Structure 1
Amino acid sequence: MAIILFDDDARNTLLPLTYTRPVADLRIGILTIAEKWAKYLDTDFSFITENYLQGKFPLNIQDDNIFINGSVCPDEGIVEAINSLGNGQALRYQDKLIAVKLSDVYAHKFNPFGKYSDETVYTNELVTIKHPEDIFRNNGTELRKDFKLLTQGRKSAQLSSTNTIIGNDFFAEEGAQAECCSFSTLNGPIYLAANTEVWEGTHIRGPFALCEHSQIKMGTKIYGATTIGPYCRIGGEVNNAVVWGYSSKGHEGYLGNAVIGEWCNLGADTNNSNLKNNYGEVKLWDYPSQSMRNTGLQFCGLIMADHAKSGINTMFNTGTVVGVSANVFGGGYPPNHIPDFSWGGADGLVEYGFDKMMETAAKAIGRRPHRNFDEAEKAILTEVYKLTKPYRGE
């Protein structure tokens, strides 16, 4: 049985985060949504997504297939309902197609917006991701679920006795290292993956996850619910943020109520505001409507897509959206929406030269010996550059 994770219209409302990945490749909690489904259903997965993404995220149709909405985070209830589906049967939630089981003949004609003659409505609550802020606002719920999924029946590795661990919901994989740090699980679990390091003087309150090969620098303060993805290096003060992977915030500065994509770098003393001075609801730039959208949130900080960068002392205002491969620098507050492939800040924005951007991306990825800036990666950035050209006012 093949799991095929499909994009629906959430792909558009999650931009710019989904310009470079399918919806199910979003990380929330400890795992990506695709990895969660693989754990729950104990099988591999593939994707139906935009054509230009399929080279990196291929589709694999088999004799029997379960198509699952990539914006849905699994739990035991929905997994049981999906496992009960017969061939040709579909499951719907709030008029959204959640899953359908199809043989290979019909799988090739799959439509994420199609109707099926044999449909069941799922009535329990589900965590679904529709807008970028849904990632940090649901991160605590997903962290707790993933912690249970990954650690049930297992015993944590032992950390050095120089650390203080408060509470019981703490788990370290073999190879995790920490010295002279405090970990409080009173508000949620803490998970340290293999080959991670938490440097001296760090204080962490759960729920929190540190994914493989990541480092937390000396004296860092982290509040839940926060996830640091694989191969990251983080310092300063972090609160309710999700950093996906291969990204760095190596110095002082505040990051709160935020989502940071892959291959990003926040320069020294980069800060984001997450609360307006008048305590009003925060608006975010919305790609489908090309206008500001009210989030309904009082706390909402920075949304930053893949390959974006900020210079030292950058100040991001409340509710700022930074597009793919944007390079932000200079004094003052830059705009609340920085279009993809832009260069500049408060004093104005110009297009980030395509060749220079590709050269920077190649250097960033080349620093990781197990990753390559291959043709699939190049093709994705090339297509996103073309797709986003109108948003740069050209």
Structure 2
Amino acid sequence: MNYILSDGPQRKSLLPFTFTRPVAEIRIGILTIKEKWEKYLNAEISFKTEEYLSEKYPMTEAADNVVIIASYLPNPQLLETIRSLKEGDAIFHEDKVVAYNTKNPKDDVDFSEYTIVKYAGDILTVDHTWDIFSKNGEALQADFNLITKGRKSAPISDTNRLTCPENIFLEEGAKVEHSILNATKGPIYIGKNAEIWEGCMVRGALALCDNAVVKMGAKMYGPTTIGPYGKVCGEVNNSVIFGYSSKGHDGYLGNAVLGEWCNIGADSNNSNLKNNYAKVRLWNYATEKFDHTGLQFCGLMMGDHSKTAINTMFNTGTVIGVNANIYVPGFPRNFVPSFSWGGASGFSTYMPKKAFEAAAVMMERRGVEFDDKEARILEHVFELTKKWRNY
């Protein structure tokens, strides 16, 4: 059986992160959604996504295909239901499609012609940007159980102080020295060649993915995920960083999500709680307005390739698009469109040529090429987001 992960109707509500990737490439817990499904299904999976993303994230078709809506995370019960699908079957959960079996995955689907299979079991979904951090604890625990089952952790240095060491797992090449790790409230997972420097205080849940680094004196509490090649320091609380991004200095990041290739300047901070303790509203690209999150704690959402200068401050519930460059004193507005340059005193358009030059240099430092494929995606995002750059 050929499996395909489709963006589904949730894609717009997951912008700005899905401007530059399919829904399936969102990281929540330890793994991306695609990586989770591949481990559960023991199969390679392709994408059904926007046309401009398909060059980088293609779809593989076969005679028999199961299309899964990527905002649904796998679990054993759902996996069993999906494996039982026959041609013309579709799984629905609370009147929403979860997966369907089809000969023609590219075609639009008329589910009135399908046999509906009702799924009433537990299910974890990523429907909004704020779900990525607010549901990260549950996803991280599930990934930890999946990845470490039947395996033994690499040894951890006796220079550390450990609480609940049975909930701490180090992959090969991971290094932790002279730090405090408390896994009472959630697991601590340290990926291959990842490193926690001296003097760090870590309270789980934490996922430090392959080749990521926590620098000296950091305070990490959870549930927090630092994606591959990420670098963090300062105070980080219940945040998800997809990968290749840096928050390398002091400052607070809380109830936040950062995409890839972001950089947070020294002593930058975000608020995650309103002064009147009201529930937070957050910009939603799908509705083009500030929607109620139902959350009292909600910080910063930042799209790929965006960066801040030192001492940048963000209000509660701020959304930053792709390739934004934020600087100057004061609080910028709580929705900054993609390809914006400036801050509280105002913005101008960050032209693609200059944005791409910066991206190429940053990526080269990590041994990754900024190629024409990446440029074409970002050029398309620049055009898609013009309507919001009404400075």
Uncovered stretches (5+) of structure 2, i.e. residues with no partner: none
Indicate which of 123, 126, 149 corresponds to 2:146: 149
Letter of the 2:14 partner, please give it: L
How many positions carry a matched residue from both structures?
390
Distance of 1:107 and 1:219 partners within structure 2: 50
After TM superposition, the structure 1 = structure 2 runs for residues 383-394 of structure 1, keeping only pairs within 5 Å, are: 383-393=380-390
Distance of 2:205 and 2:278 partners within structure 1: 27
Q: Which residue is equivalent to 1:269?
A: 267
Indicate which of 350, 353, 373 corresponds to 1:352: 350
Uncovered stretches (5+) of structure 1, i.e. residues with no partner: none
Task: State whether structure 2 residue 162 is matched by structure 1 residue 165.
Answer: yes
Structure 1 residue 245, shift from structure 2 partner: 0.3
Asked if structure 1 preserves the Cα contact closer than 8 Å seen for 2:159 and 2:177, the reply is yes
After TM superposition, the structure 1 = structure 2 runs for residues 297-312 of structure 1, keeping only pairs within 5 Å, are: 297-312=295-310
Asked if structure 2 preserves the Cα contact closer than 8 Å seen for 1:26 and 1:32, the reply is yes
Deviations 1:302-326 (Å, cap 9, x if unpaired)?
0000000000000000000000000
After TM superposition, the structure 1 = structure 2 runs for residues 1-394 of structure 1, keeping only pairs within 5 Å, are: 1-103=1-103, 106-111=104-109, 114-167=111-164, 168-369=166-367, 371-393=368-390
Q: TM-score, normalised by structure 2?
A: 0.98
Q: 2:4 is paired with a residue of what secondary structure?
A: strand
Structure 1 residue 97, shift from structure 2 partner: 1.2
Distance of 1:345 and 1:107 partners within structure 2: 44
Asked if structure 2 preserves the Cα contact closer than 8 Å seen for 1:221 and 1:238, the reply is yes
Deviations 1:212-246 (Å, cap 9, x if unpaired)?
01100000000010000000110000000000000
Distance of 1:259 and 1:116 partners within structure 2: 39
Distance of 1:347 and 1:372 partners within structure 2: 34
Asked if structure 1 preserves the Cα contact closer than 8 Å seen for 2:90 and 2:111, the reply is no
Q: 2:192 is paired with a residue of what secondary structure?
A: coil
Letter of the 1:74 partner, please give it: P
What is the Cα-based RMSD across aligned positions, in Å? 1.1
Change (3 A) 1:115 1:129: farther
Deviations 1:322-379 (Å, cap 9, x if unpaired)?
000000011111100011100011000111122101111111111122x221121111
Asked if structure 1 preserves the Cα contact closer than 8 Å seen for 2:266 and 2:311, the reply is yes
Letter of the 2:207 partner, please give it: A
Letter of the 2:206 partner, please give it: F
Asked if structure 2 preserves the Cα contact closer than 8 Å seen for 1:90 and 1:116, the reply is no
Structure 1 residue 94, shift from structure 2 partner: 1.8
Q: TM-score, normalised by structure 1?
A: 0.97
Change (3 A) 1:122 1:116: farther
- Percent identical pairs in the alignment equals 51
Structure 1 residue 110, shift from structure 2 partner: 4.7
Q: 1:68 is paired with a residue of what secondary structure?
A: strand
